[in-house]
Amino acid sequence: MGFLDSILGRSKPKQANLDALFLVPSAAITLQTTLGLTPTGDGSVCYRAAAGAGFSQTQGDVLELLRDAADAPEVEVSSDSFGFTWLQVHRDASDTSGLCTDLHAVNTGLEAEGFGPALLCSLVPFADPTGRRVGLVYLYKQGTFYPFAPQPGGAQQRDNLLEIQVRDVLAAELPVEREMSRWLAIWGAPGL
């Protein structure tokens, strides 16, 4: 936000940066070959439901769009303890690009109605044969990815070693979030 804008106190909401999601399918292949992590077939978009009828109507249209498609994915909407909404999509684990197209449809659907600033992140979970899970999280406002690997068993601990591994493996392929303080912890996110 420009210095002048901030001085005049008219900070405009930050628009989301949507296109990087299509890098995920190739990243999925790299994760599989290097770390043995495979997509779980889940994917979700996290956003802040705006007050008023406008938003619920927009969200309804987006859900309808997803569900009416020919090979429609399973779609589920839930909200978390912070009051953010998670729109979760589930497809066959092999169809990552189809999944990303669905997530993109949600993003553009919300953005077209002016709710771009409400988008927080997208999440594509991966798992390895031993059951460890890591989510590839995309931050709309920063246009960057980062890994989030909760330790199994409820305690809010992160498997930082696995996260660093994932970051280094994908560093060449995706814009990875350098600033570790921005690696938002999303406990209880769907699919993790």
* Comparison of 106 and 169: residue with beta carbon closer to another protein: 106
Compute the least distance from the CB of residue 35 to another protein, in Å. Answer: 26
3-state secondary structure the chain: CCHHHHHCCCCCCCCCCCHHHHHHHHHHHHHHHHHCCEECCEEEEEECCCCCHHHHHHHHHHHHHHHHCCCCCEEEEEECCCCCEEEEEECCCCCHHHHHHHHHHHHHHHHHCCCHHHEEEEEEEEECCCCCEEEEEEECCCCEEEEECECCCCCCCECHHHHHHHHHHHCCCCCECCCHHHCCCCCCCCCC
* Comparison of 35 and 77: residue with beta carbon closer to another protein: 77
Compute the least distance from the CB of residue 184 to another protein, in Å. Answer: 5
Compute the least distance from the CB of residue 186 to another protein, in Å. Answer: 9
The residues that touch another protein, with contacts defined as CB under 8 A, are 1, 6-16, 48-55, 57-58, 61, 81-84, 111-118, 120-121, 139, 141-142, 156, 181-182, 184-185
Rounded to the nearest 5°, which phi and psi values hold at 148? -135, 110
Compute the least distance from the CB of residue 56 to another protein, in Å. Answer: 9
* Comparison of 15 and 33: residue with beta carbon closer to another protein: 15
* Comparison of 12 and 130: residue with beta carbon closer to another protein: 12
* Comparison of 13 and 36: residue with beta carbon closer to another protein: 13
Compute the least distance from the CB of residue 91 to another protein, in Å. Answer: 26
